[in-house]
Structure 1
């Protein structure tokens, strides 16, 4: 008989156990035979096993080596499970997409969820979709519209790369041990190459990071050094605006202008 694993605080582990929530997540993923499934942080395998049975094969990336053998034993008759004992931030996800785009699933540790999201974005061209369980407030930031306090760097960068769909709320009692925050499940679907913004990724990252670096200041102040007031006006944007008032497409124009000014030699 498999004994329940003891959650480790230093890994930020909270194991999902609510059967209804598990079923709803599995239904949302709707895995099919042959899907290239990758699970980040499988834990005790409550999502791993039903997904593995549906798809026939699954790659699970787990940092805690103590969870590997119990998970391998549970999955022995469910399908072909490939376990990777590694920090997901050091995994080349592109190497896992050998035949078709990846379908990524994960109950992400709260303390490192944003870095994992940005890491996955680097491989968006290799990904079909992502279903993540995250802190509720993070999901709200991911899907936030311009103008509110939740809208920020994460909102802009994700919405320019993916369709963001919050799917369901997950109460703290659904986990062992219960976290001090509520959770939610979100679906991210990378945009097709045809509709992705035509902008240098590093320029976009720098402009968005600087614009939101000091939220209370105007763009004319936060972007000083990369774009002057005339450059900002040339993008159809008032330099007296704050970053939280701009739509994601506005940041694309600013980043394009930034790239153009860097490419133009000074007279």
Structure 2
């Protein structure tokens, strides 16, 4: 079956069902699979990524090649990493004729991304499985890879956490991490009818422009995130008590709050990135850990 030879658009219900039937495929609940069947959404993701000839794009979870096809038709060079062992053979058929697509079987959390992407900047585009969205995002960002932009489809609730501001219920460790490394914004909504099978949650496409330098300067990035993790690990407690529960010594906590001038009675959910940075830096300087 050479779909590309016919220039068939994969992102339609009829073609997707045809592919699923031809290859005896079922969407895997274990892998969080929902196949995109809306060509307008595909175009929206490609446009949001600014995909163009000469770009290198890492796609995570190409599935049957729906988004991959849209990215390939932009002229970009696409490297798609697929976990489901059944799908590379399917992709060889659905994307036949696209010589600018390379399929890499494997787990994105385990593959050597610098090795498969080579030198120079690249973009990331993905319809991420919702059950593993956060680990994948953090793996990509924490490695300081030369990513210029991440355009991902995620559960709306997760996207709202990614863009949340201090003081809101959605604000947490994910908000701080994403905003530390990137400038995120929601591009558009994706209704459940855009998928087969239709998910039970609302989805959005979120664009994260990766910062050339983190949003705040810190003396020790590991300490910064250790403080953030502690603050939101017990978010109902004051930050001082939450830090104590996370293993920081009493002397270190008191010295850090004295040096930073921050009120130890506040909750972590009220802290800006600058305040987290100031507290973490004070911990490093006092050296009482």
TM range (shorter): over 0.9
How big is the shift at 1:92?
2.5
Which moved further from structure 2: 247-256 or 145-154? 247-256
Alignment of 1:13-92 (within 5 A): 13-92=33-112
* 1:115 paired residue among 116, 129, 135: 135
d(CA) in 2 for partners of 1:246, 1:9: 37
Detail structure 1 runs of 4+ shifted over 6 Å in the superposition: none
Which moved further from structure 2: 140-149 or 72-81? 72-81
Gaps of 5+ in 2: 2-17
1:253 aligned residue: 278
* 2:27 paired residue among 7, 20, 44: 7
* 1:30-81: CA deviation from partner (whole Å, max 9, x where unpaired): 2111111110001111110121121342100000011111112222222322
d(CA) in 1 for partners of 2:39, 2:210: 29
d(CA) in 1 for partners of 2:133, 2:196: 19
Alignment of 1:200-219 (within 5 A): 200-219=220-239
Alignment of 1:150 with 2:170, yes or no, is: yes
Name the CA shift for 1:233/1:175 in 2 (closer, same or farther; >3 Å). farther
Gaps of 5+ in 1: none
Alignment of 1:113-192 (within 5 A): 113-192=133-212
TM-score, normalization by structure 1: 0.93
Q: Per the alignment, in what secondary structure is the counterpart of residue 86 of structure 2?
A: helix
Name the CA shift for 1:92/1:200 in 2 (closer, same or farther; >3 Å). farther
How big is the shift at 1:230?
4.1
d(CA) in 2 for partners of 1:42, 1:34: 20
Q: CA RMSD in A?
A: 1.8
